[in-house]
Chains A and B, each alone.
Chain A
Amino acid sequence: MVNMKKRDLITSIILLALSIAILLEIREFPIGKLSSPQMGFFPLILAVLLGILSLVLLGQAIKGKDEGEIPSWVSSGREKIFILTVGILFIFPIFFERLGYLISVFLLIALLFGTIGKKKWWVVIMVAFFSALASYLVFGILLNTQLPMGILGL
């Protein structure tokens, strides 16, 4: 069973670390004074408030009541699909401009549809092909957006 206390504990530690990181970062910024605040003034106040609230959350996580079961990160059986989807999404922009719009979008839809849809390969190919074409008509022609041509000039 997962519980919110453990998640809050980890979250509060991460947030505390973030507030310390910000405080270290803004050492270089001019803070100014109350009568003439400079660019570091506002982030300083925010970082301090973040640190305080993180400590409050940490305190709540340590002392608070167990709220019982809460939704897991990913439902059972969906882990592989979820990780694959996130992976595909992050890989897409890396190759988008190099491969060009049509090829990238074709591969994107084919991979996403094939990962979750579990359809026959020819259905996947057709859906990916028409999606790439239709979206090109919308973005490239109708909305006149400049889209990358890529290595094949497509």
Chain B
Amino acid sequence: MDLDIFGKLTLGFSLVASPYNLLFCFIGVLLGTLVGVLPGLGPVASISLLLPITYKMSPVTSIIMLAGIFYGAQYGGSTTSILVNIPGESTSVITCLDGYQMARQGRAGPALGIAAFGSFIAGTFGVVGLMILAPVLGQAALSIGPPEYFALTFLGLTLVTSLSRGSTIKASIMAILGLLAGCIGADVISGAQRFTYGSLTLLDGLGIVPVAMGMFGIGEVLENIASGLSTKDVYKTKIKGLLPTLQDWKDSFWPIIRGTVIGFFIGILPGPSVVISTFTSYAVEKKLSRYPEKFGTGVIEGVAGPESANNAAVSGAFIPLVSLGIPANVTIALFMGALLIQGIQPGPLFINQHPGIFWGLIVSMYIGNILLLVLNLPLIGVWVKVLKVPYEILFPLILLFCLIGVYTLSNNVVEIFIMLIFGIFGYLNRKIAFEGAPFIMAFILGPIMEKCLRYSLLMSRGDLGIFFTRPISAILVSLGLASLILSLIPHFIRRKRLIEEKD
């Protein structure tokens, strides 16, 4: 291990450990958990709602606060899964299976406790992995060119598309629409205007904040209003005994370790890696368990493994962002959006050009993990009270937050209209079974993808073979094509069967 790492960590600590930055890390964790706990708002919506708060701060403070929000939102989503059986997002679905059952058996405390401890341990190891691997990958990334970058964005998009719920055709359409939305504004190479229709606001393109807040914040609230979301059966009995017992620890020890390793390495892959890591961890624990038939009835391994995988995957997912400048999933894409607005371009040069921010991020993730554990466990009672607040009181405040939050970006009411339009778009998508993740990933990756495609074609003088003759690019493009084709095959097999039945 490079001894210089300790020097760099010291740099990170010196930046983060000021009372001012620690305060904002704590506020980030608190706000992230609070918004993550709110029913009807998943981590993606929570993070996009809180993004505007970070814009008025210095880059270092904003990154530190964002890291706190990230962890807090993930943990908040797990809390609603365990106590209310509403998964905040797809990453928390698995926790509902055994977590809610544990709550019903009067074991909500140990479930929440092991989720917090497992997340802390996995998050800590994940940060160590990020600290070691990111600089190494960043160095290697300096030798890759536009064809490899294009191939990486292509793989990321095809994985998100082919692994999304429901129809691959619909997910592909959403990805195309996202790429088109990314074309609005100044052309990435020539700077000429595209699809702006004379609007000064659109000259800079559609911002990630109004789009994300619209689709995931406003869209979800409209969905809840339309369906009449009410305060569900919140676990009613007093929560006691947050500290897991010795037996709980014995049962959870190996699931936490396995979840950490599984989560971290799957998290590095582009696509819905955090979701995949939780499902994989659950499947592994069930396979290795001496009593697999008990999974789903309230076993602690079913919470410990996936919750650890969840947190480790978040750390792993930061690696492609800071070393390559490619967001691995939607939540990391939002983080990237926040960095870009602060004028920071993540990528191979990020660590060298902004060492303070990178090492500050590493340290704030350590501290965020600690704060999450130390502060959130005692505050469980508060979160339960928040969950019981009637939705009719919560939703006007959530909407207000969205409206003002997006206005604060540039004091421009047009941004509010853009957010509302995407709110309607997000709401309609839910009714016609179109998923939002491919759209937002494509929207963020689109400019990078287009720039690299055009530069690659310039380099090769129009020869598309450039993507297949360079080894790394060839592997990545082939994997992307394979994932798309494989996801369509069952569709064709089913169609063939339908035709045969009709005959």
Interface residue? A20 (CB, 8 A): no
A47 to B454, CA, bound (A): 17
- B residues apposed to A, CB below 8 Å: 53, 56, 169-170, 172-173, 176-177, 179-180, 183, 187, 189-190, 192, 194-195, 218, 222, 225-228, 392-393, 395-397, 399-401, 403-404, 407-408, 411, 413, 416-417, 420, 423-424, 431-434, 450, 453-454, 457-458, 461-462, 464, 498
Q: Contact: B190 with A39, CB < 8 Å?
A: yes
B397 partner residues in chain A, CB cutoff 8 A: 109, 131
New A-B contacts (7) at CB < 8 Å, excluding given A78-B227, A105-B400: A4-B432, A4-B433, A42-B454, A46-B179, A50-B180, A85-B222, A116-B225
Which residue on B lies nearest to A40, using beta carbons? B194
Taking a contact as CB atoms closer than 8 A, the residue among A15, A29, A96, A147 that contacts B173 in the complex is A15
Within the complex, the shortest CB–CB distance from A108 to chain B, in Å, comes to 6
Which residue on B lies nearest to A109, using beta carbons? B396
Interface of A is mostly: helix
B431 partner residues in chain A, CB cutoff 8 A: 7, 71, 73
A4-B432, A71-B431 in contact; A145/B408 too (CB < 8 A)? yes
Interface residue? A89 (CB, 8 A): yes
Instruction: Please name 8 pairs of A and B residues whose Cβ atoms are closer than 8 Å in the assembled complex, sorted by A.
Output: A7-B432, A34-B462, A39-B190, A43-B180, A46-B183, A96-B407, A113-B392, A143-B408
B450 partner residues in chain A, CB cutoff 8 A: 42
Q: Contact: A93 with B187, CB < 8 Å?
A: no
Taking a contact as CB atoms closer than 8 A, the residue among A4, A97, A112, A117 that contacts B413 in the complex is A97
A70 partner residues in chain B, CB cutoff 8 A: 433
Within the complex, the shortest CB–CB distance from A101 to chain B, in Å, comes to 8
Which residue on A lies nearest to B190, using beta carbons? A39
Q: Contact: A93 with B413, CB < 8 Å?
A: yes
Within the complex, the shortest CB–CB distance from A128 to chain B, in Å, comes to 9
B187 partner residues in chain A, CB cutoff 8 A: 39
Within the complex, the shortest CB–CB distance from B388 to chain A, in Å, comes to 16
Q: Contact: A113 with B393, CB < 8 Å?
A: yes
Which residue on B lies nearest to A49, using beta carbons? B176
B454 partner residues in chain A, CB cutoff 8 A: 37, 41-42
Q: Contact: A25 with B195, CB < 8 Å?
A: yes
A49 partner residues in chain B, CB cutoff 8 A: 176
Q: Contact: A57 with B194, CB < 8 Å?
A: no
Q: Contact: B227 with A36, CB < 8 Å?
A: no
A116 partner residues in chain B, CB cutoff 8 A: 225, 392, 395-396
Chain A 53-81: CB-based contact to B (< 8 A → 1; otherwise 0): 11011001000010000110111011001
A4 to B166, CA, bound (A): 12
A144 partner residues in chain B, CB cutoff 8 A: 56
A96 to B411, CA, bound (A): 11
Tally inter-chain residue pairs, CB-CB below 8 A: 143
Q: Contact: A85 with B195, CB < 8 Å?
A: no
A35 to B407, CA, bound (A): 42
Which residue on B lies nearest to A128, using beta carbons? B396
A75 partner residues in chain B, CB cutoff 8 A: 226-228
Q: Contact: A53 with B173, CB < 8 Å?
A: yes
Which residue on A lies nearest to B405, using beta carbons? A139
* Interface hub of B179, B187, B225, B403 (most chain A Cβ within 10 A): B225
Q: Contact: B194 with A29, CB < 8 Å?
A: yes
Within the complex, the shortest CB–CB distance from B66 to chain A, in Å, comes to 15
A117 to B453, CA, bound (A): 52
A96 to B187, CA, bound (A): 32
A105 partner residues in chain B, CB cutoff 8 A: 400, 404
List A103-132 residues whose CB lies under 8 Å from chain B.
105, 108-109, 112-113, 116-117, 127, 131
B172 partner residues in chain A, CB cutoff 8 A: 53
Taking a contact as CB atoms closer than 8 A, the residue among B56, B399, B423 that contacts A143 in the complex is B56
- Lowest 6 A-B CB distances belong to which pairs? A35-B462, A34-B462, A112-B396, A39-B187, A93-B416, A93-B413
A135 partner residues in chain B, CB cutoff 8 A: 400-401, 404
Within the complex, the shortest CB–CB distance from A40 to chain B, in Å, comes to 8
Interface residue? A151 (CB, 8 A): no
B190 partner residues in chain A, CB cutoff 8 A: 38-39
